[in-house]
Structure 1
Amino acid sequence: MNVLITNANSSKALTVTRSLGSKGIDVVSSDTNKYAISFFSKYTKNHFLTASPKAEPDIYMKQILSFIQKKNIDVMMPINSVDTLLTSKYKYKLEQYTKYPFEDYSKMVVINDKQKLIELADEIGLPVPKTYTMDNTKKIEGLAVELSYPVVIKLKNSTSSEGLSYAYSIEDFIDKYKNTIIKYNLDPIDYPIVQQYISGDSYGASVLMNEGDLRAVFIHKRLREYPISGGPSTLRVSVKNKEMEKIAVKLLSHVKWHGLAMVEFKLDRETNKPYIIEVNPRFWGSINQAVRSGVDFPYLLYQMAIDGDVASVKDYQVGIKTRLFFNDCRAFLSYMKISNHKSQLAKDFFTFRQIHSDEFSKTDPLPGFMFFLKSKKGKYQLIKVKKNE
């Protein structure tokens, strides 16, 4: 049996590769970069290069479909937002030749769009931050005087912390909102949303659904993130939170979701109430956290694709920590600048034995080495060696 994994140059692709490869499944990887991290994993049996799914989507899809047909790929698993959304458009074509255990595009765009998601969650009575939308710049000044600061400015469709900013006053809001429109060249229909700022810790509720029925759920807490203003997590820990589980499952059951999704929450520091922030309708950056804690989402998804269903996962270990090491180094330096407890922060950071790495593995060392080269120079040193070939 085999599986095609896209976007091999990412830590989450590496986690998926190691998860499936260690179970005896032949992993084939694709990427635009010939030095993609997962290409160097001992679990990658084959790999090939593609056009960019963002810059050349039509060519990309032709290459993917052609490879799947020629190599008789059993299951396809897109990894990042761009390739997941794009391939979901062509689900009807992909399913003629392979198993594709991800949602239809029509559902993907609703869950991925922050405005549509908030409207949906609010409609079914789930907790969301107070949210404002606008369709032309004439309303900006009027809204600015109504807001209670600070507020969060977000692009409707973005990943990580792209386009994210915080405004602390009327003037700050007007300036940042207009600059966001200009920077991303947004049409009125795509103007950013504005949300109430929720002060508190960030959590993720990761879920596997089979046509709206729950098969696995996992909760983690973010301990550090980079950028520290709201970027992807760099250090996390597995926890339990029944209320978050209930909210995430209710949301995804309502739309009869199929496949994976991760619901992001903020836990209000004052009220201890969780608020839905956004949903990642795909593999998420901290997927290693769930795998290490006992919920092997990549393998569960693969089993569900092949067999049509999978046994439910009832429990997992709490207190397990993972980190994306090189980004956590950057996060650590940023947190040190603002922390009032620098000695404790440093002590926690240099505790290696009790924290699992996303990049490094004793049994699969080459990808970690490639991460090191990439982090050290900002590009792979091997490129210099190869440039005169």
Structure 2
Amino acid sequence: MKFSILIPDGEVPLLPSVINCLSQVKDIKIYVISNKKRYPMRYSRHIHHYAYYPETNVELEWIDNINEELKKHDIDLVMPIFENGIKIIAKYKNQVSFKDKLCLLPSFDNFKLANDKGSLLYFLDNHHLPHPKGIVAKVGEIPKVESLQYPVLVKPVSGLGGGTGIYSFDNQSSLEDYFIKNRLECDTIVQERIEGYDIDCSVLCKDGVILAHTIQKATLKDGNPFAPTTGLIFVEEEELYLTIERLMKLLNWSGVAHVDLLFDKKDEKFKILEVNTRFWTSIDASLIAGVNFPYLYILASLGIDFNKPNYKYLEYLNIKGLLKTLQLNIKFLFETRFILNNTPVKFAVKDPIPFILKYVIFSKNMLVSKLKKS
């Protein structure tokens, strides 16, 4: 079957990975709306039509842009890929000209619940789902954490991402000093920092039922210990899966989600950290392992049944992870089979212009930054 889809939030960094996945299916025609006029992905050979609209902070104007593209083109499905786009469409789905062309979405209330780390913390407490102990500090409040054991982590309840805004404290005085010196603009979670390893679960759901999933364990991290992993291995963990299955059922989740967890070595339990209510940075890794989440998302949204896919328990490195590995061991360059099959390199080879432009722009920005500092 032939499908046409519209990605309305095409300026987000996840776009290349989603396009890599969709490019594996010949009969998908991809339309993109973006507020970036000269975004490298504009020149992707896999994108049929790229529409630029100036950035707007008015949510209904953004919906109008979607309606305009739906009028112009024979599009089967609208598929937002990042939090803000999913949130706005879930909120204003009745304002979309063709509601039957929207992908599977969670309810707006359940999206807000899962996306806000403070609300999620209360939800996990109430339903006795495993998670690190924590409290929510309101804006302007200096938290007292007698009920928690140090060290603790501090992180905003929403926004940011990628490990930004997460800090660790070993005692009450350093924690109080942080809150006194920083004027925080949103509520903050103070949570016990537990020893263990990072692991996460990616899902596609419909009405709380998991249609596809992968579980991946971190093997290589960037310099920031709270940043996304740069290397991982796919695994299967029944206890973890059953926890996520219950979480998705309680949220009555529809669409995609990526749940970050930590294995607590002391309690020997997998504990939920947060729910990313969107596609994830390692989505092309899931593809390489055998699960094409964007394509399955399209099928599920169009009401087309498919068997739940299995995935391979393979290792994966993203570009940062590959470069870091090469820095540590230049001989890894001769591991050509791994590099071509277990990294995003093969996608760059098939669609080189966006990849080249991205790193030309990155190098130019780095040079300008160095010149300004000097």
TM-score range with shorter-chain normalisation? 0.7 to 0.9
* Map of 1:31 onto structure 2: 34
* Map of 1:135 onto structure 2: 138
Instruction: Check 1:374–1:162 CA distance in 2 against 1; reply closer, same or farther (3 A cut).
Output: same
1:107 is matched with which residue: 102, 106, 110? 110
* Map of 1:339 onto structure 2: none
Q: C-alpha distance in 1, partners of 2:20/2:362?
A: 21
TM value normalised by structure 1: 0.84
Q: Secondary structure at the match of 1:266?
A: strand
Aligned counterparts, 1:196-215, within 5 A: 196-215=192-211
Q: C-alpha distance in 2, partners of 1:228/1:352?
A: 28
Q: C-alpha distance in 2, partners of 1:7/1:347?
A: 40
* Map of 1:57 onto structure 2: 59
Moved more, 285-294 or 128-137: 128-137
C-alpha contact (below 8 Å) 1:268/1:274 kept by paired residues: yes
Q: C-alpha distance in 1, partners of 2:10/2:139?
A: 39
1:354 is matched with which residue: 326, 333, 338? 338
C-alpha contact (below 8 Å) 2:234/2:315 kept by paired residues: yes
Q: Offset at 1:305?
A: 1.3
Q: C-alpha distance in 2, partners of 1:50/1:86?
A: 16
2:359 is matched with which residue: 372, 376, 380? 372
Q: Offset at 1:206?
A: 0.7
Instruction: Check 1:68–1:59 CA distance in 2 against 1; reply closer, same or farther (3 A cut).
Output: same
Moved more, 95-104 or 204-213: 95-104
C-alpha contact (below 8 Å) 1:85/1:105 kept by paired residues: yes
Q: Which runs of 5+ in 1 are unaligned?
A: 337-341, 382-389
Instruction: Check 1:282–1:48 CA distance in 2 against 1; reply closer, same or farther (3 A cut).
Output: same
Q: C-alpha distance in 2, partners of 1:112/1:3?
A: 25
C-alpha contact (below 8 Å) 1:374/1:380 kept by paired residues: no
Q: C-alpha distance in 1, partners of 2:139/2:297?
A: 42
Q: C-alpha distance in 2, partners of 1:217/1:166?
A: 31
Q: Confirm whether residue 81 of structure 1 aligns to residue 83 of structure 2.
A: yes
Q: Offset at 1:283?
A: 0.8
- Aligned AA for 1:357? T
- Aligned AA for 2:45? K
Q: Confirm whether residue 310 of structure 1 aligns to residue 305 of structure 2.
A: yes
Q: Give the root-mean-square deviation of aligned CA atoms.
A: 2.8
- Aligned AA for 1:196? E
Moved more, 353-362 or 208-217: 353-362
Q: Which string of whole-angstrom CA distances, capped at 9 and with x for unpartnered residues, describes residues 56-81 of structure 1?
A: 43332221222123223211111222
* Map of 2:254 onto structure 1: 258
Moved more, 223-232 or 196-205: 223-232
Instruction: Check 1:296–1:59 CA distance in 2 against 1; reply closer, same or farther (3 A cut).
Output: same
Q: Which string of whole-angstrom CA distances, capped at 9 and with x for unpartnered residues, describes residues 28-70 of structure 1?
A: 11222123232222110110112335x3433322212221232
Q: Secondary structure at the match of 2:257?
A: strand
Q: C-alpha distance in 2, partners of 1:148/1:349?
A: 45
* Map of 1:156 onto structure 2: 157
Q: Secondary structure at the match of 1:315?
A: coil
* Map of 1:92 onto structure 2: 94
Q: Confirm whether residue 40 of structure 1 aligns to residue 27 of structure 2.
A: no
- Aligned AA for 1:73? I
* Map of 1:386 onto structure 2: none
C-alpha contact (below 8 Å) 1:8/1:30 kept by paired residues: yes
- Aligned AA for 2:156? L
Aligned counterparts, 1:228-307, within 5 A: 228-306=224-302
C-alpha contact (below 8 Å) 2:231/2:321 kept by paired residues: no
Q: Offset at 1:322?
A: 3.4
Moved more, 2-11 or 154-163: 2-11
Aligned residues: 360
- Aligned AA for 2:78? M
Identity of aligned residues (%): 23
C-alpha contact (below 8 Å) 1:223/1:235 kept by paired residues: yes
* Map of 2:122 onto structure 1: 119
TM value normalised by structure 2: 0.87
Q: Offset at 1:212?
A: 1.5
Q: C-alpha distance in 2, partners of 1:176/1:119?
A: 24
Aligned counterparts, 1:324-343, within 5 A: 325-326=319-320, 329=323, 332=324
Q: C-alpha distance in 2, partners of 1:302/1:366?
A: 26
Instruction: Check 1:109–1:379 CA distance in 2 against 1; reply closer, same or farther (3 A cut).
Output: farther
Q: Which runs of 5+ in 2 are unaligned?
A: 369-374
Q: Offset at 1:151?
A: 0.7
* Map of 1:363 onto structure 2: 350
2:179 is matched with which residue: 172, 177, 200? 177
Q: Which string of whole-angstrom CA distances, capped at 9 and with x for unpartnered residues, describes residues 303-356 of structure 1?
A: 1112x1432324110023131x14764xx49xx9xxxxx957x77798564143
* Map of 2:317 onto structure 1: 322
C-alpha contact (below 8 Å) 1:265/1:277 kept by paired residues: yes
Aligned counterparts, 1:216-231, within 5 A: 216-231=212-227
C-alpha contact (below 8 Å) 1:262/1:281 kept by paired residues: yes
C-alpha contact (below 8 Å) 1:14/1:37 kept by paired residues: no
C-alpha contact (below 8 Å) 1:26/1:44 kept by paired residues: yes
